Structure 1
Amino acid sequence: MSDLRLGVIGLGNIGQQHIKHIQSGAVQHCVITALASRGESPLATQINATHFNDYRELIDSGLCDAVLIATPTMSHLEMGLYALQKGLHVLMEKPLGLSIAQGQALLAATGAEQVFALMLNQRVAPVFAKMKSVMDAGTLGELQRTHWTMTNWFRPEVYFQVSDWRATWRGEGGGLLLNQCIHNIDIFQWLTGMPIAVQGFCGFGKYHNIEVEDEATAYFEYENGATGIFVGSTGEAPGVNRLDIVGDKGMLSFDGDRLLLTENSPSTSQYNSETKDMFGQPSNQQVDITPSESVNQHAIVINNFVQAILQQEPLIAPAIQGIDSLAIANGILWSAWSGQRITFPLDGLGYQAALDEKLEHSGLRKKSDIKTNIDMEASYR
């Protein structure tokens, strides 16, 4: 089997992390042949790759079969379109774009033979994979309520100061929801399905000197009448990671550490209609189903992308599946701006018009040259 020739566009923290995974051997049948970044990079010489200052030159070079785009969100549409239109396979860092309109434009440019994937790495986290298997098996019965408080995404002020694009409408199209919590929102809808409507409430620059949201609370409505709450923050420490999914037959509870499955006997609805005990409730059994294994999430997604191209392996996270989480994030913001309940499918053109108003008055900040301590492993939740 020939190795896939991969170009990496963007050599920031996450781009370098992906390169380390590939160079370490954690990714098979893949060789990095080219890198692109605005400045010079000694890394290219170290890994025997050709360096380009212009991503278009990399794509046009003929050195790559595929590209991994690990640049700020504002460039995803432009770079993704160019790569797809030139016939390359694409693995995109999250999110798919600033808006679902941008995401849909990228999908429309994808050829039938092209592999287009998104770095939704938390889908392979053992705990969420276990929850997905429980949900797909119908163990909980009909959905009644969901609730995720995900506030341990704390980021200090320096995180924003050393970047010109983070936490700006121009650079990111949002903050907490489009950057940190896009993973959680993806997992939320992956497990419980898309809501039919959302009411969103956001704090904009509540804890940081930024123009976008650093706190968000969303109320979801589902087609069967179930409801949900999502709470996120980058200004709370130590923060909370608590996910509950409640169904007629039981519930899943994840506290950031342990995963518990509770099963009712009989179901809540059956007991409700049949019992003569005024203060009774169904009997239940609780089991700890926390997975013991740990995995290299990013390497698994990159391996899957490579094998999808070389061996037609089904994608873990095809780019089209990034639309729903992007729609939810966009919907929460739109609701917060307008004070209105937003329904799904999201009106992409309507949201884009609202976002364009923000973009018109937004710009990139001047980066600080503060020397920082960077531990990428500490950034994952």
Structure 2
Amino acid sequence: MASVENDDGTVKYGIVGVGMMGREHLINLYHLRSQNVGVVAIADPHVPSQQLAVELAQSFGWHLEVFSGHRELLDSGLCDVVVVSSPNMTHYRILMDIISHPKPHHVLVEKPLCTTVADCKKVVDAARRRTDMLVQVGLEYRYMPPVAKLIEVVRGGAVGQVKMVAIREHRFPFLVKVDNWNRFNANTGGTLVEKCCHFFDLMKLFAGANPVRVMASGAIDVNHKDEVYDGKVPDIIDNAYVIVEFDNGSRGMLDLCMFAEGSKNEQEISVVGDIGKGEAFVPESLVRFGTRVAGRDGVQTLKAEDRRIKYDGLHHGSSYLEHLTFLSAVRAKGEKAPAVDLQDGLISVAIGVAAQLSIEKGQFVTIQEVMDEHYG
């Protein structure tokens, strides 16, 4: 794999899509400047977003080349690495264009990888032929300090063989995005793909197994019901329960509510094994774990911190750590695989798609059905 470092040792980044999340990536990369990185170009057809990104970069002393489309950015030859943080429904086309471009660009693509399993699979297949590129998927919840600590606790054997993973996300409604693209399933893949691929990724990680089938119940009960865009009412669900069964017999459960602003924690994660239990709380940043033998009095509580974080941002420092990890893989010149690869991205989307279908059909949906696209 060719070196990405320029004569002065810098790694040059381009960002495709500089809405809220794209600008968040810009700020994270600025806080990584001691690692000899810089953002040199952006691409976005939305002029107000371009302007906000340029102003931000100017405040950092960075000059950006501005393009309205990603192809122009790629053709410029300015970038070694591309961050894709455009709306979900654009990921497939952009990724395929990056992968087929003569110049190799390493890629960090925001979740979800794509909005459909079919598109994810095409990206996975195309990327296999580009051994000169790394592609990492932005499932950064793995890096939130309390979640990372819980992963460490579970992998260290403190809870034994994992049997149950329960994740609760009780939060605020979806934010307003450019042209309200995130109000419709056709653009997002559905709430359980758009938002919850993070949690399905964590379930698979904790279970240490592959998902087999999914059962879900969800609805639009409170949010967005009085909104109308171009004559259409939003169709994204705002609450759901999802059960995921894995091939080693373990089970995962997601409890999602997006009208629960009155919550102390936005995420609560519980992992129970045959000998103990571990929990993580975000944003309290606490981790608790104990064993069946020691009981309630033996439960330990610790504050999870990561001193490497120089910018907390919108996701409690996890995006900063994600960039740090990705940069390390890029600089390893093929010696190190991306921490969250395309297969992880595909499976997290497949579980979300199965969950959305399960709500529609009122029955279990197998991952095989979704992967084979044998559903009507």
Q: Give the TM-score range, shorter chain.
A: 0.7 to 0.9
Q: Is the 8 A contact 1:29 1:306 kept in 2?
A: no
Which residue among 177, 180, 188 is the counterpart of 1:172?
A: 188
In structure 2, do the counterparts of structure 1 residues 104 and 205 end up closer, same or farther at CA, with 3 Å as the change threshold?
A: farther
* Match of residue 155 from structure 1: 173
In structure 2, do the counterparts of structure 1 residues 121 and 146 end up closer, same or farther at CA, with 3 Å as the change threshold?
A: closer
In structure 2, do the counterparts of structure 1 residues 20 and 224 end up closer, same or farther at CA, with 3 Å as the change threshold?
A: closer
* Match of residue 329 from structure 2: 308
Instruction: With the length of structure 1 as denominator, give the TM-score of the two structures.
Output: 0.80
1:290-343 CA-partner distances (Å, limit 9, x unpaired): 324463321222232233222234422223211221111111111111112112
Partner of 2:194: helix, strand, or coil? coil
- The one-letter amino acid of 2:186's match is R
Q: Is the 8 A contact 1:80 1:106 kept in 2?
A: yes
In structure 2, do the counterparts of structure 1 residues 95 and 27 end up closer, same or farther at CA, with 3 Å as the change threshold?
A: farther
Give me the whole-angstrom Cα distance separating, in 2, the residues matched to 1:147 and 1:90.
31
Which residue among 254, 274, 290 is the counterpart of 1:262?
A: 290
Write the mapping of 1:95-174 to structure 2, written as runs, cut at 5 A: 95-110=112-127, 111-152=130-171, 154-155=172-173, 159-160=175-176, 163-174=179-190
Q: Does 1:216 align with 2:232?
A: no
Which residue among 68, 92, 95 is the counterpart of 1:77?
A: 92
Give me the whole-angstrom Cα distance separating, in 2, the residues matched to 1:27 and 1:349.
46
Q: Is the 8 A contact 2:139 2:340 kept in 1?
A: yes
- The one-letter amino acid of 2:99's match is L
In structure 2, do the counterparts of structure 1 residues 283 and 121 end up closer, same or farther at CA, with 3 Å as the change threshold?
A: closer
- The one-letter amino acid of 1:251's match is K
Which residue among 21, 34, 37 is the counterpart of 1:30?
A: 37
Which residue among 166, 173, 198 is the counterpart of 2:214?
A: 198
1:166 Cα offset (Å): 0.5
Give me the whole-angstrom Cα distance separating, in 2, the residues matched to 1:331 and 1:27.
43
In structure 2, do the counterparts of structure 1 residues 52 and 162 end up closer, same or farther at CA, with 3 Å as the change threshold?
A: closer
Aligned length: 334
Q: Does 1:287 align with 2:296?
A: no
- The one-letter amino acid of 1:57's match is E
Partner of 1:265: helix, strand, or coil? coil
In structure 2, do the counterparts of structure 1 residues 35 and 226 end up closer, same or farther at CA, with 3 Å as the change threshold?
A: closer
For structure 2, the residue ranges without an aligned partner over 5 or more in a row are 226-233, 310-316
Partner of 1:164: helix, strand, or coil? helix
Give me the whole-angstrom Cα distance separating, in 1, the residues matched to 2:140 and 2:154.
19
Write the mapping of 1:339-358 to structure 2, written as runs, cut at 5 A: 339-350=362-373
Q: Is the 8 A contact 1:167 1:212 kept in 2?
A: yes
Partner of 1:178: helix, strand, or coil? helix
* Match of residue 275 from structure 1: none
Give me the whole-angstrom Cα distance separating, in 2, the residues matched to 1:120 and 1:26.
22
In structure 2, do the counterparts of structure 1 residues 349 and 134 end up closer, same or farther at CA, with 3 Å as the change threshold?
A: same
Deviates more, 1:306-315 or 1:227-236: 306-315
Partner of 2:183: helix, strand, or coil? coil
- The one-letter amino acid of 1:68's match is V
Partner of 1:107: helix, strand, or coil? helix
Give me the whole-angstrom Cα distance separating, in 1, the residues matched to 2:207 and 2:188.
27
In structure 2, do the counterparts of structure 1 residues 309 and 223 end up closer, same or farther at CA, with 3 Å as the change threshold?
A: closer
Q: Is the 8 A contact 2:146 2:281 kept in 1?
A: no
Instruction: With the length of structure 2 as denominator, give the TM-score of the two structures.
Output: 0.81
1:95 Cα offset (Å): 0.7
Q: Is the 8 A contact 1:145 1:247 kept in 2?
A: yes
* Match of residue 377 from structure 1: none
1:238 Cα offset (Å): 1.5
Structure showing greater radius of gyration is 1
Give me the whole-angstrom Cα distance separating, in 2, the residues matched to 1:146 and 1:24.
34
Partner of 1:316: helix, strand, or coil? coil
| Percent identity for Structure 1 against Structure 2 | 22
- The one-letter amino acid of 2:288's match is L
Give me the whole-angstrom Cα distance separating, in 1, the residues matched to 2:34 and 2:349.
28
Q: Is the 8 A contact 1:26 1:299 kept in 2?
A: no
1:123 Cα offset (Å): 1.2
Q: Does 1:317 align with 2:340?
A: yes
In structure 2, do the counterparts of structure 1 residues 169 and 251 end up closer, same or farther at CA, with 3 Å as the change threshold?
A: same
1:106-138 CA-partner distances (Å, limit 9, x unpaired): 111111121001112221122111111222222
In structure 2, do the counterparts of structure 1 residues 202 and 238 end up closer, same or farther at CA, with 3 Å as the change threshold?
A: same
